[in-house]
Structure 1
Amino acid sequence: MVDETNEVLGHAPLFEALDEEGGAALRASITEVRLGRGQTLFSEGDEGDRLYVVISGKVKLTRAAVDGRENLVSVLGPSEMFGELSLFDPGPRTASAVAVTDTILAGLGHEDLRPFVYGQPEVAIVLLKALARRLRKTNDVMADLVFTDVPGRVAKALLDLADKFGKEGEDGLHVHHDLTQEELAQLVGASRETVNKALAEFALRGWLRIEAKAVVLMDVERLRRRAR
């Protein structure tokens, strides 16, 4: 398990920015966190003092509306990082983190991270790049909600999930996203019925095949064109 953890961490941007000695020092301060499917790591509004890297499994970040509706912000997999915002801007968590599957995380306390941030500019740059990517993603989502129809957003969401979790097979690109129909709808920002209608249309056209908490993308290029 140690070798697997070190391999996954080695692909995380934070650890890629460190030399071997620095990476070993930071790994020594890691706390392993194990979550069962559906278990909450932290909730929106909680105080944040740790950054996390996904070792195995999937984690979803969600935000709740005033009326109780939930928006699925993103789904994260191995080597992806979250929780870094409060390192630069201490305050309440801006989203809830919930395990989509059984999950193992590497937790890094901000007090352990700060010496690396202050002493090695490349580490700070990596973390700031992560925040910039999140801001850019937020801007893209907002633009899609205004300018892109639901089928286009569904196509784009499937392609994003494929980039993270897709595995090539003889019959297409297998994407085991592990999301329920409701969660997929929350990710797209539409009703479950509308999203299911878009998926059924794509399946009818032969672009994909729907499976339990998964899809097989058989015509990625058509989906890319539909996502534009």
Structure 2
Amino acid sequence: MTVSNTASNNNNAKTFAFLRSIPIFASLTDDQLSSLMGIIEEKKFFRNNVILWEEDTQRYMYIVSSGKVKVVQSSEDGKEHILAIHKKGEYFGEMAILDGKTAPATVIAMEDSLIQLIARESFEKFLLQNEKVMNQLISMLCHRLRESWLMLKVMSFSSAEQRVRAVLDQLGKLNGVRDERGIIIALKLMHKDIAGYANVSRETVTRLLNRFAKESKIEILDNKYILLKEHSVESR
């Protein structure tokens, strides 16, 4: 066996294991998953590249193979509002395929990312015919609905401080890893990302995070993750 064939087999094995680790694919047989792998496209997107425009949302389901992406809406004055962030192993675009309608949002790479694309026809052939897959999809849609409710809660606060507190609390719930110090938000977030979530200015986020840190409510770790010290920054 040549070196190139060995490398190809190793890559296929890694891709197979990666897809198998995603709950929506867990119930597929090995043959089904192998067939699906054969028709999945993979594309690389560099940081700040647009992955998905609104008009393309009915064409594919997207899986984050590496990197991190954000789902955004832009106001008339060009201000960006983040609706969600998806990291490795998460997927998006399935709702537009299911109901045939476009999603009023754009998806942008937050860092260099590899994205796997499943065409609508393949989605319908391999996934919609499987009852267990449909149950996973329903579970994910419920999760997305809860995320939307949390974002509505964020936007209901009148002050910038309350919004930033609520965003940190939400990110801790969605992406938090608990240790003896509190909850670590396992996402590398820039201040403008938090600002996009909270619909406030980047300068306001910087000022508030600096204040929270001085008050020992949060800590910015070496890897740029944010440590929430217990629930001291939880929205109220």
TM-score bucket (shorter structure): 0.7 to 0.9
CA contact (8 A) 2:83 2:151 kept: no
Paired with 1:75 and 1:119, the residues of 2 have a C-alpha distance of 28
How many residue pairs get aligned? The number is 226
* Runs (5+) with no aligned partner, structure 2: 1-10
Structure 1 counterpart of 2:134: 124
The one-letter amino acid of 1:51's match is M
TM-score, L = length of structure 1: 0.83
CA distance in 2, matches of 1:159, 1:9: 30
Unpaired segments ≥5 residues, structure 1:
none
Deviations 1:87-119, CA, capped at 9 Å, x for gaps:
112233421111111111111111001123442
Equivalent in 127, 144, 148 of residue 138 of structure 1: 148
The match for 1:227 is 235
How do residues 72-151 of structure 1 correspond to structure 2 at under 5 angstroms?
72-147=82-157, 149-151=159-161
The residue number in structure 2 matching 1:197 is 207
Q: Which moved more, 1:154-163 or 1:87-96?
A: 154-163
CA distance change for structure 1 residues 133 and 9 in 2, over 3 Å: closer, same or farther? same
Give the C-alpha shift of residue 57 in structure 1. Answer: 0.6
Match of 1:177, SS state, is coil
CA contact (8 A) 1:51 1:108 kept: yes
Aligned to 1:215: 225
Q: Which amino acid aligns with 1:227?
A: S
SS at match of 1:214: coil
The answer to whether the Cα contact below 8 Å between 1:9 and 1:53 also exists between their aligned partners in 2 is no
Cα distance, 1:212–1:35 mapped onto 2, change above 3 Å: farther
| Cα distance, 1:77–1:118 mapped onto 2, change above 3 Å | closer
In the TM superposition, what whole-angstrom CA distance separates every residue of 1:184-227 from its partner, at most 9, and x where no partner exists? 2011222223322321221012232336882341613323xx23
Asked if 1:40 is matched to 2:22, the reply is: no
The CA RMSD over aligned residues, in Å, is 2.9
- Contact residue 57 and residue 93 of structure 2 kept, 8 A: no
TM score, norm. by length of structure 2: 0.80
Partner Cα distance (1:60, 1:213) in 2: 20
Match of 2:32 among 13, 19, 22: 22
Query: How much does 1:71 deviate?
Result: 0.7
Distance 2:100 2:187 in 1: 32
Q: Distance in 2 between matches of 1:159 and 1:78?
A: 21
- Tell me the amino acid that sits aligned with residue 157 of structure 1: V
Q: Which has the larger radius of gyration?
A: 2
Counterpart-to-counterpart distance in 1, 2:130 and 2:13 = 26
Distance in 2, Cα, partners of 1:193 & 1:166: 25
Match of 2:6 in 1: none
2:194 maps to amino acid: L
